[in-house]
Chains A and B, each alone.
Chain A
Amino acid sequence: MMHFKALILLSFALFSASTFASEETYQFETDAQSALFFELTKELRCPMCQNQNIADSDAMIAADLRRKVYQLVNEGQSREEIIDYMKQRYGDFVYYQPPVNATTIWLWLLPLIFVFIGIVLVIRSRQQKPVTQDNAKLEAADKLLEEDK
């Protein structure tokens, strides 16, 4: 039984090793460069398959962009320089964090406006004028109650 379990574990280990081998392998001189590469490939968006980053996507363009990021990282370019390089070619679209400008400002303003409107509405509903007593009506009601007795 023990042997059987060991065999299963071993087969999993072999399987994962083989899937790694089929992926592109990039060698980096420093750990910082390697970290930057993995960070950037997660934050850059694939222009072809839009809901994936370039690390996830199998599209050829994603592979080309990964290779380009690798090349630029190895040339010693900084994070911002590489993002700018990609934006120059594929537009703001290629980076998941949109820049703040006249069109995109609403992404931040709209939620704030909604919260503000909500607060105003709550405050106004709290400040309802107290109901003024209408003595004539009260008397009428009292009379009705009397009659019911």
Chain B
Amino acid sequence: MRKISFFVLPLILFVGLAIFLFQGLFSDPREHESTLLNKPVPSFVLPDLMNTDLTYTTEVFVGKVTLLNVWGVWCVTCAVEIPFLEQLKNEGKHIVGLYYDQDIDPDFGIKTVERVQQEVEQKLGQLGNPYAYNIFDVKRDLSLDLGVTGAPETFLIDKQGKVRLHHIGDINPRVWQNKFASVYQELIAE
């Protein structure tokens, strides 16, 4: 009896530790639950990227299921993801861009909006345009309120304007299938 416990106990401990560490190999450390889940999008008043006279508020999300995609022309992964987003758009999904610029530093001068618009037009001309419109997060305040850590990130917003899914990283066919597809269908049916 003593001998068994002498060998079995360390074995159990070892196997437990091995399983725990093995799982760690496949977990994404950047993945953590959004605090906004099932809560409304934080309030904002921000201009349209292409026509700054136009302003948007949280009202724009009411009544339809929206994919809010955080991006910028400077973001390499975004360029990879845009063609797939365009495919989603062609399937009838409503995709809105949340654009923020890296070079616009609120404290040290501002790159002209015209320059940003030019860059965006050029980029979307090359890659295709999945966006119904782009909200221009001038000082990155909305990004901060949304808990955005970088680009690309995507929020799935329901018809009441509540955040139902927050994905960090790019959307590709695999991510769409595993993470978005079923939730999206549910929200459409609501």
Contact = CB atoms under 8 A, between A and B. Distances in A.
Interface of A: 24, 47-48, 50, 59-61, 64-65, 67-68, 87-91, 93
B145 interface: yes
A60 B144 contact: no
B32 A61 contact: no
Contacts of A90: 35, 147, 149
B91 to A, nearest CB: 32
Nearest to B29: A50
Nearest to B148: A61
Contacts, number: 37
Contacts of A88: 35
A64 B29 contact: no
Contact of A60 (B29, B33, B150): B150
Contact of B150 (A48, A68, A87): A48
B149 A61 contact: yes
Contacts of B149: 47-48, 61, 90
Contacts of A87: 35
B174 interface: no
A43 to B, nearest CB: 18
Contacts of A67: 106-107
